[in-house]
Amino acid sequence: MGQVVGFDITKTKQEIMYTANNEPMVTFAGKIEIRIDGEERSLPCVFTDRDDTPFLLGRAGFFDIYEINLSAKKKTMTVIG
C-alpha cells in the first residue's frame, strides 16, 4: 500500500511493533493524505513490508480531529470533524 500512496519504505527508519497475538512485525512510520468531505489532512500512518497486513483506522491523528458515530441498526458510519 505504501507504493500506492507514494510512500517509500526504504527512506525511513525500520521499527518493530507487536500484533494482538504478540508477534513481532516490521513497520515503517510515515504520513498519508486523507480527504473527508472535501477537507484534506495529513495524518500519521504505519506501513509494513507485508502484503497481508489489514488496513486499520488508528487513533493517532485521526481521533484527535474526528469523531466517529456507528449505527449497527442503520448500517451507517458518520464522521464529524
- Mind listing the pLDDT tens digit for each residue in 37-55? 888 988 888 888 888 887 7
Domain containing residue 20: 9-80
Is the pLDDT at 3 greater than 90? The verdict is no
Instruction: Tell me the average pLDDT across 62-79.
Output: 90
Residue 16: what pLDDT?
94
31 in any annotated domain: yes
Number of domains in the chain: 1
43 in any annotated domain: yes
Residue 76: what pLDDT?
95
52 in any annotated domain: yes
44 with 63: CB under 8 angstroms? no
33 in any annotated domain: yes
Q: pLDDT for 9-33, tens place per residue?
A: 888 889 999 988 999 999 999 888 8
| Strand pairing class (39-48; 24-36) | antiparallel
| Strand pairing class (24-36; 14-18) | antiparallel
Is the pLDDT at 57 greater than 70? The verdict is no
User: DSSP character for 21?
Assistant: T
50 in any annotated domain: yes
